[in-house]
Structure 1
């Protein structure tokens, strides 16, 4: 990067273009992707950087404000938003909880992936490329003590990763694979029916 002035100029120009493309890719995703599905792996790292937990599953969404995270490994958990409420179901406990979508969504990753107006809710900033991805920081415009930072990684125009650091310094990295957008997702995928005998906690 520091060999010659001309190299610096060219590198800066190329980096700037890549960053602008990443911001544009996020805007395009929010504008054009009306529905989608993907597989994901999630790695949660403790603030000390030593302890890690991994999980995997599938993700589906339908704009506006409908999504489904189905965790399969190492244990099952289902998170469903039907446009009005968010439901979380733990099969092992046979217990579900629900809360109003507006209370749960706010300026969260789900709002970026399946919500409405990103320009209204987030300030977007290009970040340096890393790990072969172009990154965009999405800073909530409304202060949220539960969220320290959030960024999305794109490979070209395709969403590849999402990284969140919460208020305690815990880092969650979600990597997507096989992403398909604007596909037909059955409406019942975003409907939750309380299983027989399950306990329900409404918040």
Structure 2
């Protein structure tokens, strides 16, 4: 009887994991645009220090997105399909670089990229915290670049809905984004992905 229960438990777990991979594939294939709020928690490698920020996220495939951090500091990251712009309101300073150089095998590529499985290998992970997790491993061309900055990259799903993303960088710092008020395939105004340099702001082009 115990063996049967164990086998059933393992079977249910494997189905849940497969569903999470399918959920990510469906997200990459079927969700062309979207909006969500997020809370980001950054934890130091020793686990003792945490920084929490929050804001909103919008995207439209291919390769257009907007992360707007509202608390504790205002910062905007915008990709218009050609370039990525980062603007820090406190410094009144912006930087830009070509999308191809900035995107690669990154979290933004997972959320707004044109071809998910061209850039990543997907591997099911154990369920944790009520979410089913998928590990996304960068493929070849982008792997070397990604490995220099990213140790691991996971996405968490609750059923078919994207609920969280977790990134561990090369130094062991952990960043987790928890998404709420997720709206899939809703129209997003084109100007949300256009960056206009604020008056008096410095621009650093890379």
TM-score interval, smaller chain = over 0.9
* Structure 2 equivalent of residue 157 of structure 1: 160
**Does 2:48 match 1:50?**
yes
Normalising by the residue count of structure 1, what TM-score does the alignment of the two structures yield? 0.98
Structure 1 moving runs of 4+ over 6 Å? none
Q: Which runs of 5+ in 2 are unaligned?
A: none
* Structure 1 equivalent of residue 196 of structure 2: 193
Pairs aligned (count):
201
Shift of 1:85: 0.3
Q: Which runs of 5+ in 1 are unaligned?
A: none
SS in 2 for 1:127: strand
Normalising by the residue count of structure 2, what TM-score does the alignment of the two structures yield? 0.96
**Does 2:67 match 1:69?**
yes
Q: Within 2, Cα distance between the matches of 1:91 and 1:129?
A: 38
Task: Report matched runs for 1:32-111 at 5 Å.
Answer: 32-111=30-109
Q: Within 2, Cα distance between the matches of 1:92 and 1:149?
A: 31
Paired residue for 1:167, among 167, 170, 173? 170
Q: Within 2, Cα distance between the matches of 1:48 and 1:74?
A: 23
Q: Within 1, Cα distance between the matches of 2:117 and 2:66?
A: 23
**What is the RMSD computed on CA atoms of the aligned residues?**
0.7
After superposition, what is the alpha-carbon deviation per residue over 1:75-94, rounded to whole angstroms, capped at 9, x for unaligned? 10000000000000011111
